[in-house]
């Protein structure tokens, strides 16, 4: 009997805690269901040209290094004829992060350009990604992506 009273209260508290930890992004970014293992946040926005952009954050407990991830991605994208890449090391979410932007690969419904930050924190690998079809990342989208640090 007591469990039937307490369980709904605990579930409600967990839902409230989850909702309060979600960052407040600009209203054009709509929270959507996560679609990949390890993904804990996902937002989508309809662009003026009719395409859809996505912001997402993933977390994986592993010994993975952000530099290794970027190296592997760079190898894959370098094989695509029109891919253009920029890579830099920056400070994000209180950690040193690898920042990779890949453009020139968007096409069809399945291929997108990416703007990604990868970093380690508390023994976990975090990857925050913005996918888009435009020729270059939108500055406001990159700023919204960095707001995912709050989660």
We report the CATH number of the domain holding residue 111 as 3.40.1000.10
The residue behind tokens 């390890």 is: 38
Inside any domain, residue 14:
no
Residue 125 φ then ψ, to 5°:
-95, 125
Inside any domain, residue 145:
yes
**How many domains does the chain contain in total?**
1
pLDDT confidence of residue 22: 75
Inside any domain, residue 12:
no
Inside any domain, residue 105:
yes
Inside any domain, residue 82:
yes
Q: pLDDT (tens digit, 9 = 90+) per residue, 40-66?
A: 999 999 999 999 999 999 999 999 999
Q: pLDDT (tens digit, 9 = 90+) per residue, 99-138?
A: 999 999 998 778 899 999 999 999 999 999 999 999 999 9
- pLDDT tops 80 at residue 151: no
| Helices first, then strands: H and E counts in the chain | 3, 7
What is the rounded average pLDDT of the residues 95-102?
Answer: 97
Inside any domain, residue 63:
yes
Domain that holds residue 65: 25-150
């Amino acid at each position: 009997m007591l469990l039937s009273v307490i369980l709904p209260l605990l579930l409600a508290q967990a839902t409230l805690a989850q909702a309060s930890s979600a960052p407040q992004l600009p209203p054009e970014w709509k929270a959507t269901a996560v679609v990949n293992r390890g993904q804990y946040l996902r937002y989508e926005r309809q662009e003026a040209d009719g395409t859809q952009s996505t912001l997402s954050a993933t977390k994986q407990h592993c010994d993975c290094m952000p530099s290794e991830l970027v190296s592997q991605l760079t190898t894959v994208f370098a094989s695509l004829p029109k891919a253009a890449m920029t890579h830099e090391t920056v400070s994000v979410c209180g950690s040193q992060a690898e920042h990779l932007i890949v453009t020139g690969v968007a096409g069809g419904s399945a291929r997108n350009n990416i703007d990604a930050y990868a970093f380690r924190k508390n023994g976990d690998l975090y990857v925050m990604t913005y996918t888009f079809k435009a020729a270059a990342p939108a500055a406001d989208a990159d700023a919204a992506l960095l707001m995912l640090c709050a989660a």
